[in-house]
Amino acid sequence: MNKINSNLNIPNIFTVSDGTGETALSIVRAVRVQFEHAEMHIERYNKVRNREMLDDMLLSAKNKNATVVATLVDPELRVFLISRSMQLGVKVVDVLFPLLETLSEQLGSRPSAIPGLLRQLDEGYFKRISAIEYTVRHDDGIISNDLPNADIILVGVSRTSKTPLSMYLGHKGYKVANIPLVPGIDPPAELAKVDQNKIIGLIIDPSRLAEIRAARINALGTDDIGDYADLEKIFEELEWSREIFKRNKRWPILDVTGKALEENSVEIEKIILNRFPQLSDEQ
């Protein structure tokens, strides 16, 4: 319960909800601004999930001559609130019930009665946005202090679909970092400081990688393929990456050759969710 103002000489408003209570509080605040210079003493009762909690709130409201603003979606709790408030002589404004009933009639179905459902949807949306922002900040070897906060870390040589896979998984709500492996250079020391179960190595067929790199060079408007798309050099790069993977036994290897982005992302998800089942509840 949070008190916004403790002056007992001003009107008392109780907001009560079986969810977060943000909806009821927002409505009260919206109404309050219509009364210039007026103050209200607001007390919040959120996550009220049983009759005992409601009864305690109503007794307190009676003692303080408070008006109750309710956003209860549980029909049993709502019925108890109305009946008990009438017994005690407490004023109750049920802000959800009229709209729920009207829409129920028009839609021909009953509401889900799940407290905080809209809030859950909002939280899911913002979690995805946060995941995308994280993934963009950790693209192509960009390492910061919050690398351990990644859900997934992809490593592999250039053009093994690290960035496309990262962005795809980021849009699904995973915080993804990707780090390129360069021949002759050990992986960044920061990798050793994170949970090794989050790291996945990417591999690809050498000939296919040569084609992808050659196409990339052509797209940049140059014919100078050089070592970047040279098949022999690519063999060396991939062999180097395999040696890195062998030294890190907990890094599973995923061959991305000839598979769609979605297919590879599904395989990555399976690996990660098998290791971190709790992530399935956060997406």
Whether 184 maps to a domain, the answer reads: yes
Whether 6 maps to a domain, the answer reads: no
Residue 2 pLDDT > 50, yes or no? Answer: no
Say whether 156 counts as a known binding-site residue: yes
CATH code assigned at 210: 3.40.50
* Residue at which a domain ends, from 115, 139, 164: 115
Whether 2 maps to a domain, the answer reads: no
Residue 149's nearest CA partner among 117, 87, 193, 210 is 193
Please compute the mean of the pLDDT values over residues 177-191 and round it to a whole number: 94
Q: Are residues 150 and 269 in the same domain?
A: yes
Residue 191 pLDDT > 70, yes or no? Answer: yes
Q: Are residues 132 and 250 in the same domain?
A: yes
How much is the mean pLDDT over the chain? 87
Q: Are residues 92 and 182 in the same domain?
A: no
What is the three-class DSSP state of 278?
helix
- Give the residue with greater pLDDT, 15 vs 33: 15
Model-level pTM?
A: 0.60
* Residue at which a domain ends, from 72, 91, 115: 115
Q: 39-80 pLDDT, tens per residue?
A: 889 999 999 999 999 999 999 999 999 999 999 888 888 888
Q: How many domains does the chain have?
A: 2
Residue 41's nearest CA partner among 60, 17, 18 is 60
Say whether 161 counts as a known binding-site residue: yes
Q: Are residues 208 and 248 in the same domain?
A: yes
User: What is the C-alpha to C-alpha distance for residues 175 and 166, in angstroms, rounded to an integer?
Assistant: 8
Q: Are residues 75 and 99 in the same domain?
A: yes
Residue 142 pLDDT > 80, yes or no? Answer: yes
Say whether 17 counts as a known binding-site residue: no
Residue 122 pLDDT level (bands cut at 50, 70, 90) = low
Domain encompassing residue 130: 121-281
Whether 3 maps to a domain, the answer reads: no
Question: Is there a contact between 176 and 166 (Cβ–Cβ < 8 Å)?
Answer: yes
Query: What proportion of the chain, given as a percentage, has pLDDT over 90?
Result: 56
Q: Are residues 141 and 83 in the same domain?
A: no
Please compute the mean of the pLDDT values over residues 71-100 and round it to a whole number: 86
* Residue at which a domain ends, from 65, 94, 115: 115
User: What is the C-alpha to C-alpha distance for residues 259 and 179, in angstroms, rounded to an integer?
Assistant: 21
Say whether 216 counts as a known binding-site residue: no
Say whether 158 counts as a known binding-site residue: yes
Q: Are residues 141 and 175 in the same domain?
A: yes
Say whether 159 counts as a known binding-site residue: yes
